[in-house]
Amino acid sequence: VECDKMKIDAEQQARVSIKDNEAKLKVSESNAEAMLARAEAEEKGAQALEEKRRYELEWARIGVLQKMAGQSGRRLFISGDKGRDIMRDLVPQAQSEKGKLAKVSSNPYRGP
């Protein structure tokens, strides 16, 4: 009788332990699915944010160029790489016959 009681208690404990671990497994699977969904949403959001940042940076760059151009009565002389970069930003590059972009000269008085 004592042995049967111990056997029944052990079997009951085993069943409870199995159910408890099955529930933990389901919770872990649900958490993993949630993590994957969150990662996918973050990836899509990152792509959208990248485009937004690019847009904001372009407007900030245009604002700087506008301030430089709007300083009346003041002449700016910028040479070297910085001057060439500013000229590239200000002057649209024309297409040549071969489909290549025309080179912008570092000396605006010399031509390409």
In this model, does residue 112 exceed pLDDT 60? no
**Residue 53 pLDDT grade (very low, low, confident, very high; cuts 50, 70, 90):** confident
In this model, does residue 25 exceed pLDDT 90? yes
pLDDT of residue 29: 95
In this model, does residue 49 exceed pLDDT 70? yes
pLDDT of residue 98: 45
- Alpha carbon separation from 56 to 51, 64, 82, 90 (Å, rounded): 9, 13, 22, 18
Average pLDDT, the chain: 78
For the segment 106-111, the average pLDDT, to the nearest whole number, is 48
**Residue 80 pLDDT grade (very low, low, confident, very high; cuts 50, 70, 90):** confident
As a whole number of angstroms, the distance between CA 85 and CA 101 comes to: 15
DSSP lists the bridge partners of residue 77 as: none
pTM above threshold 0.85: no
